[in-house]
Amino acid sequence: MKMPIERSEGRQPDLMILPLERQVFSGATMGTRYSAVFYARGDAVRSGLNRDLQAAVDAVDAQMSTWKPDSALMRLNRAPTGIWCKMPEELFTVLAAALEIGRLSEGAFDIGVGDLVAAWGFGSQAASSDQKWPDAKTTVARRPAHLCLELDHAQQRVRKLAAVTLDLSGIAKGFGVDELASVLMAHGVEHFLVSIDGELRAAGGKPEGSPWRVAVEKPQTGHRAVEGVIELSEGAVATSGDYRHFVERDGIRYGHTMDPRHGAPLADGPAAVTVMAATCMGGDAWATALLVLGPGTGAELASRQGIEALFIDRLPGTAPDAITSFQSSKEN
């Protein structure tokens, strides 16, 4: 059957089908920037999409920042033990996920390291030259956050069972990426790639059928270079490493990732771990946990949990030039 097509002859059609157009929005959040690349019909600015994207990440920052004294997280940090504290929905969601991953990783991912982050000069108060640092060689017995907090899911409340200072830097940006994705989907956008500081989530591939191509950064200081490329149509990719954020003291470099097992910055771990997951929040947290555990124990845990992860060694040439699949879960 032939499709009936009439010439318009100046008449207005009842329905105009606009082509998908590539659009890009970006903005400031959490001390860095977010980016949203997507395909949509018409002017997304007029639809309020740019406003909604910014509002979503602003809400995450307002609730979970350790740099804002009035954030919901900092109010919880100041709360005494034994007192139930009502949480905003987003913060409660992140706390619940963080504690569960903390339990599954046996404390390798621990949001209760806020005191360590501050002590080592990575917090809102930058380290001074005369600051007395902890001894990195001294093992400190610590109680992980999943044993220090109790959650009331019915009433969305949290209370401390023991003194603990929370820091969500290993999961909040991933959650922010998921929030960007939720906004786009709520606006009917089916093809997108969103990111915050290298943590990203994709959906739909590109309209012509090709996947999004995502670069895995080479773990080195100085200039940026690509270690490999992942082709992604659906899902999230998150990376944790110590090659971008670090401090130096007495000629020794200390990365920003804390090892909760020793109460000090991680030493002798892989340069980076990249995780593919359904959500960026989960990928963000698991990348940190596996970085702490390293390629031996970490790869075994990834396999048991069904997590797809790539461990990038510090030695040059140990990773392939083009990455088309992850290897440390279902294959091992």
Q: What is the pLDDT of residues 69-78, one digit of tens each?
A: 999 999 999 9
For 84, 100, 163, the CA distances from 152, given in Å and listed in that order, are: 9, 14, 18
Task: Flag whether 284 is marked binding.
Answer: yes
Q: Which residues of 182-205 are buried (b: 16+ CB within 10 A; e: fewer)?
A: ebbeebebebbbbbbbbbbbbbbb
What rounded mean pLDDT belongs to the chain?
Answer: 84
Q: What is the pLDDT of residues 258-287, one digit of tens each?
A: 899 888 888 777 888 999 999 999 999 999
Q: What is the pLDDT of residues 74-109, one digit of tens each?
A: 999 999 999 999 999 999 999 999 999 999 999 999
**Averaged pLDDT, 283-294:** 96
The DSSP code for 192 is: E
Highest mean pLDDT among 2-6, 129-133, 225-229: 225-229
Whether pLDDT at 213 is above 60: yes
Task: Flag whether 178 is marked binding.
Answer: no
CA-angle at 264, arms to 200 and 104, nearest 5°: 55
Side-chain half-sphere CA neighbours of 85 within 13 A: 23
pLDDT of residue 319: 44
Q: What is the pLDDT of residues 148-195, one digit of tens each?
A: 999 999 999 999 999 999 999 999 999 999 999 999 999 999 999 999
Q: What is the pLDDT of residues 297-313, one digit of tens each?
A: 999 999 999 999 998 87
CA distance 21 to 28: 24
Q: What is the pLDDT of residues 3-55, one digit of tens each?
A: 555 555 666 655 555 678 999 999 999 999 999 999 988 776 677 999 999 99
CA 330 to chain centre: 23
Whether pLDDT at 320 is above 50: no
pLDDT of residue 224: 62
Task: Flag whether 93 is marked binding.
Answer: no
Helix residue spans in the chain (DSSP H): 49-64, 72-78, 89-104, 114-119, 172-186, 280-305
